């Protein structure tokens, strides 16, 4: 157990040094210290049997049932999430795994769950971020062509879909809250307010 912990700490230190030397600094709060990385890993491993909704609760904004939810993947959350996944699979969380999880720091990545009636309702969804007077558009977006049956099936809303949007960090002040807006094909907007200064 001691050897495993020393190995993990060595991996973290190596990754942190590599990232510090090779990657530009975007925002301090998105660059985790070795101690923060270790805490994120411990959170993921300790809570490997927790359901995902509870595990990601502190990074998630949930609306009323059937209205949708959005989860922000910060570097801390992503490291914890990957550590949980590896722990569930009974594998070793390597320095390569850590580095891959930390690379999400170049963007704010949101996973958004939306609901609709038709099987293809989600394919033309888009999103934007509001921060003060600024409107920020994603650099990457994913919306499935075919939605899944929702937990309400066959009742309304009978379909749900998971969307992914990535926004460039360079355009975002991480000390100020942001509002993520998911925009349906017909123009209907769903708002998710994220208190960035108080998120890990």
Instruction: State how far the Cα of 113 lies from the Cα of 73, in Å rounded to an integer.
Output: 14
Residue 163 CA to chain centroid, in angstroms? Answer: 11
The better pLDDT of the pair 117, 106 is held by 117
Instruction: State how far the Cα of 185 lies from the Cα of 199, in Å rounded to an integer.
Output: 30
Query: For residue 28, is pLDDT > 80?
Result: no
The helix or strand, by DSSP H or E, that contains position 62, with its residue range, turns out to be strand 60-62
Give me the residue label for tokens 């992503």.
78
Poorest-confidence range of 42-51, 59-68, 99-108?
A: 99-108
Instruction: State how far the Cα of 96 lies from the Cα of 186, in Å rounded to an integer.
Output: 42
Average pLDDT over residues 130-137: 94
Percent of the chain surpassing pLDDT 70: 85
Full DSSP string of 25-41: ---GGGS--HHHHHHHH
- Name which of 36, 82, 34, 30 is nearest 55 in CA terms: 82
The per-residue pLDDT for range 135-165, each reduced to its tens digit, is 999 999 999 999 999 999 999 999 999 999 9
**pTM of the entire structure?**
0.80
pLDDT at position 17, please?
A: 35
Cα–Cα distances (Å) from 139 to 24, 30, 134, 143, 164, in that order, read 18, 18, 16, 14, 11
pLDDT at position 9, please?
A: 43
Structural domain of 134: 2-198
The per-residue pLDDT for range 70-104, each reduced to its tens digit, is 999 999 999 999 999 999 999 888 888 888 888 77
* The total number of structural domains that make up the chain: 1
Q: Does a cis peptide bond (omega within 30 degrees of 0) precede residue 12?
A: no
Q: Which residues lie below 8 Å from residue 119, measured CB to CB, with a gap of 6+?
A: 146, 147, 159
pLDDT at position 200, please?
A: 87
H-state helical runs in the chain: 2-22, 34-46, 52-55, 75-88, 95-102
Question: Which is it for strands 178-183 and 189-194: parallel, antiparallel or unpaired?
Answer: antiparallel
């Amino acid at each position: 157990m001691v050897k495993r912990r020393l190995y993990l700490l060595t991996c973290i230190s190596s990754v942190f040094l590599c990232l510090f030397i090779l990657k530009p600094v975007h925002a301090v709060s998105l660059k985790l210290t070795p101690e923060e990385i270790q805490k994120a890993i411990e959170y993921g491993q300790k809570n490997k049997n927790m359901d995902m909704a509870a595990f990601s609760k502190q990074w998630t904004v949930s609306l009323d049932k059937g209205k949708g939810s959005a989860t922000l993947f910060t570097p801390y959350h992503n490291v914890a999430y990957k550590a949980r996944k590896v722990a569930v699979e009974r594998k070793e969380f390597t320095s390569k795994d850590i580095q891959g999880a930390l690379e999400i720091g170049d963007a704010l990545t949101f996973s958004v769950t939306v609901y609709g009636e038709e099987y293809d309702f989600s394919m033309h969804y888009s999103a934007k971020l509001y921060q003060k007077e600024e409107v920020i558009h994603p650099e990457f977006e994913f919306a499935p062509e075919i939605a899944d049956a929702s937990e309400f099936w066959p009742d309304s809303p009978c379909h749900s879909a998971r969307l992914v949007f990535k926004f460039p960090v360079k355009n975002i002040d991480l000390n100020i809250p942001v509002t993520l807006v998911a925009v349906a094909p017909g123009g209907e907007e769903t708002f998710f307010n994220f208190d960035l200064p108080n998120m890990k």
